[in-house]
Amino acid sequence: MNINHKKLQFIFNLRSANVTDMRLLTIMEQIPRDHFIRNAFQQFIFEDTALPIDCGQTSTQPSIIGIMIQALEVTPRCKILEIGTGSGYQTSILAKMGRRVYSLERFQKLSLSARKALEELSFSNVSVICADGTAGLSEQKPFDKIIISAAMDDIPKHLLNQLKPDGILVAPVGRHETIQTIVKVRKTHNSFNYTDLKKTKFLPIVEGKEKLKVMPRLTP
């Protein structure tokens, strides 16, 4: 199967998962997933499957990325917070969709490689920050959209409070030992409206930045 046929199959898989936003589909077709997956699993970039990346993490299944970003209702003027940069592939889609993206990643190795990959594709509207994603990014709030790429038992109020009025947060919710549910939360002036979208499976969110190992000094 040549690359054009693989791309057609890739888009067909997205449509079959009810990703129907034409602007999003066009962007996902254009962005090279293989630029962000540079390992032995690169041969599977057009398949609708999660792929292993460094630090024991995974690059999310494309159809799940599409469902979550579609639920965000991103417009070109949006300021977006992404919690969980991973490979940077989803980050690049968000950067094409919105005006500005702040992406938090707890693993320094992943944050550096994602930043490099995004710079190589000339993205200038993304800030990749090695930080504790569970805290959000209060110094840049409020955000039009927040997307969380790790499972949470519940969505904490301090993250919801970083949304603008009528802002949207999308995250997988549920204990990581079980199947989770992608939840869409819209902030109104006096409440939060929750909508369940789809069952899924994500790695759990972890508090704090990666703890770097300190190698012992060798004595002569």
Any idea where the domains of the chain sit in the sequence? 3-200
Average pLDDT over residues 3-23: 92
d(CA 155, CA 142): 17
- Total-model pTM: 0.91
Rg (CA), the chain: 17
Q: Quick check: 13 pLDDT over 80?
A: yes
The pLDDT confidence band at residue 178, using thresholds 50, 70 and 90, is confident
CATH class of 3-200: alpha beta
Q: Quick check: 191 pLDDT over 90?
A: yes
**Residue 144 backbone phi and psi in degrees, to 5:** -75, -35
Q: Quick check: 210 pLDDT over 80?
A: no
pLDDT in tens, 28-53: 999 999 999 987 788 888 999 999 99
**Residue 109 backbone phi and psi in degrees, to 5:** -60, -45
Higher pLDDT, 208 or 171: 171
Q: Quick check: 69 pLDDT over 50?
A: yes
Task: Give me the sign of the Cα torsion angle 147, 151, 155, 161.
Answer: negative
Task: Give the Å distances, CA to CA, from 111 to 107, 129, 214.
Answer: 6, 7, 20
Q: Quick check: 214 pLDDT over 50?
A: no
pLDDT at 190: 86
pLDDT at 211: 57
Contacts of 19 (CB under 8 A, 6+ apart): 25, 28, 63, 66, 67, 70
pLDDT at 32: 92
pLDDT in tens, 72-131: 999 999 999 999 999 999 999 999 999 999 999 999 999 999 999 999 999 999 999 999
